[in-house]
Amino acid sequence: MRDTFCRLRAVHQAIAEFEHTLQQAHGVSLNEAMLLCTLSAQSPLSAGDIAKQLGLSCPNTSKLIRAVEDKQLIARRLNHADRRGMLFELTPLGRERLAQINAQPPPIPAALCQPNSEAP
């Protein structure tokens, strides 16, 4: 068990390192980048669909959506099929930011490329 948790710790630290580099280079968190990626692949999506796609709780998804909206990377519009709901899609700035991230992605730490390697 100890070895498993040491490996998980190394992966967790690598993800944190990756997110820090992403934030410094592109001004978005890992979840924000994953939201942009999700909406670029399938758009528009409801908040519930975004939560399912990203594996987040509804409250965390609401906070994420608000943060990305505040950066003007996504926009909401009324869901004409269900007037009680909203749909979310990338803005031109969101598409541009995602293109920048894809053109200059942060390096992926070794622990994420080889998760079965020995933990440091």
Contact in structure between 56 and 29 (CB atoms under 8 Å): no
Provide the percentage of residues in the chain whose pLDDT is more than 90: 74
pTM: 0.88
Tell me how many degrees the CA angle 71-73-75 measures, rounded to the nearest 5. 105
Q: What is the pLDDT of residues 23-58, one digit of tens each?
A: 999 999 999 999 999 999 999 999 999 999 999 999
Using only the alpha carbons of the chain, give its radius of gyration. Answer: 16
Any bridge partners for residue 89, and if so which?
Answer: 75
Class of domain 2-113: mainly alpha
For the chain, domain boundaries: 2-113
